[in-house]
Structure 1
């Protein structure tokens, strides 16, 4: 059987001709260009390179001798036809640094990737990716398609060593492209790529692809896809052609025109001075004045019956251990912005500088007195300012030589998966919790277990026995341990043990192993939960918060006190450097696929639900959209807490940095003010009717995704929750493009426009430029294409009766000199100080109320002494170099 495949190199078009022998079970292949130059010859399953001195005719004759009878003539007729049909054009490389001669420039690389000189195919360098743990270990680069592109050619050289296939046939060394539209959505599916396993020499892979109609961007990945081994890549190319096969010139960079943007005034705030923007009045001073947090009626309430919602941030790793001045300023700033909870995260990480163990080189058995003192003082400052503490226990602890942990060198940070069943790891978790939580804080004069400022805690961060991807990182002894536990469990249950390892059975979604994992994980959670109660912990306790949503995992966590989940929009890919890849797609244009709809499927009826990690990550340029969207729908869904990941600092920063740190993103911090008001005041109440998704804890349900039958858009229309064995609510008709909440207070469309029309908060977020958007008390007409314009009552009265309003107007922000790659999916230069803010040019026309004065506020939320004129009820903004205005209002004069 002959197979003919069109392929191409960087300079010539090739035809691959293969004859497959069913009896010998091998291919004989020839790759022939129009120029008749032979590149490779395959026979009897062994690849043999054509020697440079061997002529094309000699190669051809050697190949033809292998053919039988008339096959040679038929082959050459086919070659002639294909050689005439194929174009021979080539185009400039759209990839930046496709040969890795400039090191890592232009590429998003995983930690397992290195640019090396040893073994390069040609030139000085090539890319090597090597891993012993299956995972998504790929390099990537995105390219903006030139105007008129109809065809893209992928080519590149690859060699492999001991690449072992993962669970699926495509999980090998991989070279592949995908296409995306202007909203960052995948278009054209997943075109065929090149998948290679085993050990191979340098081989050229090339293929042409039709460009989908809506595509504006092409993304290349090269690496190991859930496989182990080593792969090398060199001379990677992406070329674009128009309808007539003419080569197109690539776009080399992209820089925003910021000539009319203004610099942020990053001078320190004086927190002793009153400010218009100061939400600390919504916080309890001191925290804990209403007693410990408890759970009643499926909600968080204090001991005295006071209900509470938590709006806050995470403080991470070494940032937790501040000096006293920074602790004071950080707590003051968070309180001013309305944060009433801080989650203390990654305190145990080995990479944290410092960490809670004082970065001891051989042991994590003892807590550092110096770090505890710093932690004590920050908790004390939080208590003073009305900020509650969410305490993490096991997060990213790297067990050390003296800890008595088996295979500690190769055990993953945080002991993911193993910490759920290994007895030594469970006992060490208890010891850490005991030492931390029974510690006496000399500043608050209480032990942590007796301090109501510490509001809740979790046992282990982002870990679950249901996470198939985590088993690949386990040392073999821990795989053997859980296999033995499964064998013992089956024997005790009197059930036949299925053949295979626990990870293999989990991959097969075996119902018996699903029940086993559920029972083991739940038993460990309950054991540690009971231990925490025995040492005096009084507050709610959660199990974990993995981003996957298997029913078995969520149900296991539901056996404790509340549900906690995590979700990110545009999480950086391949690492956390600004040069790593991001999609740069606005969430506001993908309502049904947003993180809101993802998290909403995991709320359990009758239990508090908190999201302790969420973010729309920088360098995505649309991230100011996130706070109001999250607060509005979180409030409508009646969630109990939203903690953005992460935060540091007591002042405005001179420069933006870090994919997650919102503390140095001024446009995000400004947008958090109206969002905090929405969430803390419950400005968007839950819808009157809830959709209840029913599921069972039967074995065949445990390995199903939570809420897999719930349309994403439903979470934008009414409250959604899950309940075991409840009557199934009929699924209502759900639109695909425009979503209006059941009570009419929220509207969100796929064109990228979100409107909130609540009594105390009214405004719009997204691509609202050039539109006239009506709320009950205001019409918003923005000229800035993407922005947020929001009116908030400052005296808690409905806007129609309020005397003071806050007008928030934010758009984008960049560092000075910040430069993107052509597709704006990576930074070539992350820029320098100062931060530049895009001005929002808009007109707000008040309805039913009359503005008597509009004060321009500075970046600390205080009056500057300057005002804006109000003509005919219209407030026109855009030249004031601020994102906040105070509007004094009175009822409109009756006609």
Structure 2
């Protein structure tokens, strides 16, 4: 682990759960005692869950808290490629939960809870059912293999559903031997997901089609499609064709709804009173995949970006955060249980935490969760990868800054709300996405976007969105909300802008001021800071830590990130060159988080400004002025 690091643990409730159970009130989250809830999270997954020693669990729980996280999603607990997993090592059946694996999860949950980190539990991720589990028509799915993954099939197979119900019942009723509480009744466990990245509407409906050589499953699917079409007076030949927009999207949402309702009833029977997500909007899905997701108490989405996101012109293409923006349904909380830069190592990956935090705060999202903190055992050095970023100096450098900005509301909620409200024929009949809509792409960095659920006779359970009490404007999906000659896109609050021609993001608020992207050959000025950085790609953030404005703050955090190139078990880090000028109290002195002073000669006070020579700071991602 890098040292020293800042300590944001005072932001957390210690222990997690001391304000009571979580609850959704409209599109906001509160604890039982009325305390508002907002989560900045990380995924903890796979081998990290079951092979990390308890002393390292406690150390990483403390570190996560210090870095500003207050939510951890437990993920890939059941995946077939993880050995051991929740079923043990090379288990012949997945009908039994392994006592040793449960003990490891108990230890993690207790350690995280003690440090003020809330828990999100996935119920089904990558479980590979065996031929000993009793799945009906197992051989049809297996095609000669000894185990099967059941995405898509879970929605129409009673035996697969029964196995999933049995698992989630046992899992949520399990008594944590350390806390003395079942997972279901522990107020620190705030959310569950029924099934990860498992939808019929855009991905796994195709697994059930006539050409997939699954005749018994296809027969069930086709019979259900015919029945739905006849009941609703729609064309049966269009209803079963899952790859087409139109009637099939209505039918597939209905199949998902039936399954979700049964799963939710079982979850609630365990005593769980927290947030339930069904699955996620992910992998290029259109808004037609949202209706069944509203059967939970919170809508969730996933999206992964690429290098150079800071340069995209929204008039011509979409960014990864735009795909998340269409998932914010009117009147419901919204989480992002997976986000990251999908390629590794992207030179500018350290910009992503700031981008996510800014967008989430401006849009009013409730729980962004990076994927992932660790997928490898946390007993020693980690191999560099974006799925185990615990030791990535690029990504970790910006996490405290992003957490502080988002959790403390340094970037304000947008002043104006646009509503994406097509009628049901367009909603289900067209592929409405950021890729197809210039209106979506050009508005979501300027103002808030919410998506309406349409009045849909074929789906009587779908609650049509009501907007009377909101100040909003209906989004024109075909209209560009940027002028043809625009080179920047800016928030309607004035809190940030992105100069996409220059590849630059600038944040300028009373308590956070930052510049990230391609900074060389220019001076970037905010209200109280001048950023003069010679590195081609970097991020620098100046923030108040004591709830004062930067100019009057008695404690300022400076966060730095540059390019970091992975080697076998470490990174080669490019030091930043240039200087900062910060208008703040003259009484402040620059120091490392665990030292009284920083490098000699790195700091001076001239003409009412703190001047910091970045090259003289030496190693380190964080410094204080205090």
TM-score, normalization by structure 2:
0.88
Structure 1 residue 869: deviation in Å? 2.9
Are residues 650 and 341 of structure 1, via their aligned partners in 2, closer, same or farther at CA, if it must alter by over 3 Å? farther
Q: Which residue of 2 aligns with 1:370?
A: 100
1:804–1:887 contact (8 Å) kept in structure 2:
yes
1:421–1:521 contact (8 Å) kept in structure 2:
no
**Distance across 2 between alignment mates of 1:526 and 1:558:** 11
Q: 1:852 aligns with which of 588, 591, 601?
A: 588
Are residues 653 and 740 of structure 1, via their aligned partners in 2, closer, same or farther at CA, if it must alter by over 3 Å? farther
| 1:602-621 → structure 2 map (5 Å cutoff) | 602-617=327-342, 618-621=344-347
Q: Which residue of 2 aligns with 1:704?
A: 431
SS of residue in 1 equivalent to 2:474: coil
Q: 1:733 aligns with which of 481, 485, 488?
A: 481
Q: Deviations over 1:32-78 (max 9, x none)?
A: xxxxxxxxxxxxxxxxxxxxxxxxxxxxxxxxxxxxxxxxxxxxxxx
**Residue 484 (structure 1) aligned with residue 223 (structure 2):** yes
Which structure 2 segments of 5+ residues have no match? Answer: 455-465, 468-472
Q: Which residue of 1 aligns with 2:312?
A: 590
Larger helix share, 1 or 2? 2
Q: 1:647 aligns with which of 353, 361, 373?
A: 373
2:281–2:327 contact (8 Å) kept in structure 1:
no
Moved >6 Å (runs of 4+): 649-653
Structure 1 residue 625: deviation in Å? 1.0
**Distance across 2 between alignment mates of 1:403 and 1:864:** 62
1:394–1:414 contact (8 Å) kept in structure 2:
no
**Distance across 2 between alignment mates of 1:650 and 1:430:** 30
Structure 1 residue 483: deviation in Å? 1.5
2:351–2:539 contact (8 Å) kept in structure 1:
yes
Structure 1 residue 589: deviation in Å? 1.3
**Distance across 2 between alignment mates of 1:780 and 1:865:** 19
Which structure 1 segments of 5+ residues have no match? Answer: 1-265, 270-274, 571-584, 816-830, 889-895
1:551–1:703 contact (8 Å) kept in structure 2:
no
Structure 1 residue 663: deviation in Å? 0.8
| 1:178-327 → structure 2 map (5 Å cutoff) | 266=1, 277-321=6-50, 322-327=52-57
2:524–2:530 contact (8 Å) kept in structure 1:
yes
SS of residue in 2 equivalent to 1:278: coil
Q: Which residue of 1 aligns with 2:575?
A: 839
Q: Which residue of 2 aligns with 1:552?
A: 288
725-734 or 688-697, larger mean C-alpha shift: 725-734
**Distance across 1 between alignment mates of 2:491 and 2:22:** 31
Q: Which residue of 2 aligns with 1:887?
A: 625
**Distance across 1 between alignment mates of 2:250 and 2:26:** 29
Q: 1:722 aligns with which of 443, 447, 451?
A: 451
Structure 1 residue 310: deviation in Å? 0.8
Structure 1 residue 848: deviation in Å? 5.6
Q: 2:69 aligns with which of 339, 355, 358?
A: 339
**Distance across 2 between alignment mates of 1:336 and 1:833:** 23
Structure 1 residue 809: deviation in Å? 1.4
Q: Deviations over 1:76-107 (max 9, x none)?
A: xxxxxxxxxxxxxxxxxxxxxxxxxxxxxxxx
SS of residue in 1 equivalent to 2:410: coil
Structure 1 residue 409: deviation in Å? 2.5
SS of residue in 2 equivalent to 1:549: coil
303-312 or 724-733, larger mean C-alpha shift: 724-733
Structure 1 residue 377: deviation in Å? 0.9
Structure 1 residue 485: deviation in Å? 2.1
Q: Which residue of 2 aligns with 1:797?
A: 548
Structure 1 residue 359: deviation in Å? 3.0
Are residues 390 and 452 of structure 1, via their aligned partners in 2, closer, same or farther at CA, if it must alter by over 3 Å? same
**Distance across 2 between alignment mates of 1:802 and 1:702:** 54
| 1:64-143 → structure 2 map (5 Å cutoff) | none
SS of residue in 2 equivalent to 1:789: strand
**Distance across 2 between alignment mates of 1:380 and 1:528:** 27
Q: 1:416 aligns with which of 148, 151, 156?
A: 151
1:515–1:699 contact (8 Å) kept in structure 2:
no
Structure 1 residue 697: deviation in Å? 3.6
Are residues 394 and 414 of structure 1, via their aligned partners in 2, closer, same or farther at CA, if it must alter by over 3 Å? farther
Q: 2:188 aligns with which of 435, 439, 453?
A: 453
**Distance across 1 between alignment mates of 2:487 and 2:204:** 34
Q: Which residue of 2 aligns with 1:758?
A: 509
Indicate the RMSD between aligned Cα atoms, in angstroms.
2.4
Q: Deviations over 1:688-736 (max 9, x none)?
A: 2111111334486255325654331311111111123567625473245
1:450–1:536 contact (8 Å) kept in structure 2:
yes
**Distance across 2 between alignment mates of 1:372 and 1:650:** 16
SS of residue in 1 equivalent to 2:386: coil
2:517–2:537 contact (8 Å) kept in structure 1:
yes
Are residues 566 and 779 of structure 1, via their aligned partners in 2, closer, same or farther at CA, if it must alter by over 3 Å? same
| 1:555-574 → structure 2 map (5 Å cutoff) | 555-570=291-306
SS of residue in 2 equivalent to 1:402: coil
SS of residue in 2 equivalent to 1:460: coil
Q: Which residue of 2 aligns with 1:638?
A: 364
Count the aligned residue pairs: 581
2:328–2:450 contact (8 Å) kept in structure 1:
yes
Structure 1 residue 856: deviation in Å? 3.6
**Distance across 2 between alignment mates of 1:385 and 1:753:** 35
Q: Which residue of 1 aligns with 2:409?
A: 682
1:341–1:387 contact (8 Å) kept in structure 2:
yes
1:624–1:810 contact (8 Å) kept in structure 2:
yes
TM-score, normalization by structure 1:
0.62
Q: 1:601 aligns with which of 326, 332, 335?
A: 326
Are residues 455 and 355 of structure 1, via their aligned partners in 2, closer, same or farther at CA, if it must alter by over 3 Å? same
718-727 or 597-606, larger mean C-alpha shift: 718-727
Are residues 507 and 654 of structure 1, via their aligned partners in 2, closer, same or farther at CA, if it must alter by over 3 Å? closer
Structure 1 residue 653: deviation in Å? 6.9
Structure 1 residue 882: deviation in Å? 1.6
2:260–2:278 contact (8 Å) kept in structure 1:
yes
Q: Deviations over 1:198-243 (max 9, x none)?
A: xxxxxxxxxxxxxxxxxxxxxxxxxxxxxxxxxxxxxxxxxxxxxx
Are residues 793 and 656 of structure 1, via their aligned partners in 2, closer, same or farther at CA, if it must alter by over 3 Å? farther
2:416–2:447 contact (8 Å) kept in structure 1:
yes
SS of residue in 1 equivalent to 2:56: helix
Larger strand share, 1 or 2? 1
Are residues 863 and 665 of structure 1, via their aligned partners in 2, closer, same or farther at CA, if it must alter by over 3 Å? farther
**Distance across 2 between alignment mates of 1:884 and 1:417:** 46
SS of residue in 2 equivalent to 1:610: strand
Q: Deviations over 1:728-780 (max 9, x none)?
A: 62547324531111011101011201000011110100001121111111111
**Distance across 1 between alignment mates of 2:185 and 2:413:** 34
Are residues 294 and 428 of structure 1, via their aligned partners in 2, closer, same or farther at CA, if it must alter by over 3 Å? same
**Distance across 2 between alignment mates of 1:496 and 1:566:** 32
1:635–1:682 contact (8 Å) kept in structure 2:
yes
**Residue 507 (structure 1) aligned with residue 243 (structure 2):** yes
Q: Deviations over 1:480-515 (max 9, x none)?
A: 331222233334x1646533783xx22343x33322
2:323–2:433 contact (8 Å) kept in structure 1:
no
1:597–1:713 contact (8 Å) kept in structure 2:
no
Structure 1 residue 287: deviation in Å? 0.3
1:777–1:799 contact (8 Å) kept in structure 2:
yes
1:652–1:666 contact (8 Å) kept in structure 2:
no
Higher relative contact order (CA closer than 8 Å, sequence separation 6+): 2
**Residue 875 (structure 1) aligned with residue 608 (structure 2):** no
